[in-house]
Structure 1
């Protein structure tokens, strides 16, 4: 499904906003990137807290149903103040988060991305 929108589940860290948005726009040819941010979002999604997941679903539903987003991205990044774990743990959390989102939204593509110490995006 072709769309002008994607939805980005991102940490609130300002250093990683533009690298993630620009990479998505350049590689997935969307004009707009809806942003849902939460400190340490890769860790938070993995916790599967019912209140958080319900809030996330409400926001994602707007992006998917109103804006037509057909791809979602889950981000983890180097030097996260809210999720002070090593890269290996981040990558595990990103992969688990992608699986959780895929179970909620079977009709969209869900992709994990890692933003490294040079603020470069790596697709998981």
Structure 2
């Protein structure tokens, strides 16, 4: 797989989920860098009626896609989120709803959903993620 310079993730600000998601994105997409747009409970923010916050997220994502050339965008949620305290199944449903919203933004990117479980392992919520391939040597 050809190395990508940048990929992007809309992730929770919770430090416990940063490293697992960054490492997963680097491994899955053979990426050199992961641009992170963080919010407390990003799925809750995206699905709110707060257009200013949604526009802020989109503006930051566009820096990654337009200036860094990112072609992959993940929306993540996680277990034990203080910013969006709902059970895992509802969180996964909200991740899917967030993917639907993001798909209306007109970005030329692959959009995937990720959930970090209680073992701090990354699970794919949306089945559109590419299969893991070996890194180029």
Output the TM-score relative to the length of structure 1.
Answer: 0.95
For residue 26 of structure 2, what is the aligned residue in structure 1? 25
1:20-47: CA deviation from partner (whole Å, max 9, x where unpaired) = 0000100111110000000000111111
1:86-117: CA deviation from partner (whole Å, max 9, x where unpaired) = 11110111000011111103411110000000
Residue pair 2:4, 2:29 contacting (<8 A) in 1 also: no
Shift in alpha-carbon separation, 1:72–1:10, aligned structure 2, 3 A: same
The aligned runs of 1:15-54 (5 Å cut-off) are 15-54=16-55
For residue 78 of structure 1, what is the aligned residue in structure 2? 79
Query: How far apart, CA to CA, are the structure 2 residues paired with 1:53 and 1:46?
Result: 8
Q: Secondary structure at the match of 2:34?
A: strand
Q: What runs of 5+ residues in structure 1 fail to find an aligned partner?
A: none
Kindly report structure 1 stretches of 4+ aligned residues shifted beyond 2 Å: none
Q: Which has the larger radius of gyration?
A: 2
Q: Between Structure 1 and Structure 2, which shows a larger proportion of helix residues?
A: 1
Q: Does 1:13 align with 2:14?
A: yes
Output the TM-score relative to the length of structure 2.
Answer: 0.86
The aligned runs of 1:64-103 (5 Å cut-off) are 64-103=65-104
For residue 120 of structure 2, what is the aligned residue in structure 1? 119
Residue pair 2:5, 2:70 contacting (<8 A) in 1 also: yes
Query: How far apart, CA to CA, are the structure 1 residues paired with 2:52 and 2:121?
Result: 32
For residue 108 of structure 1, what is the aligned residue in structure 2? 109
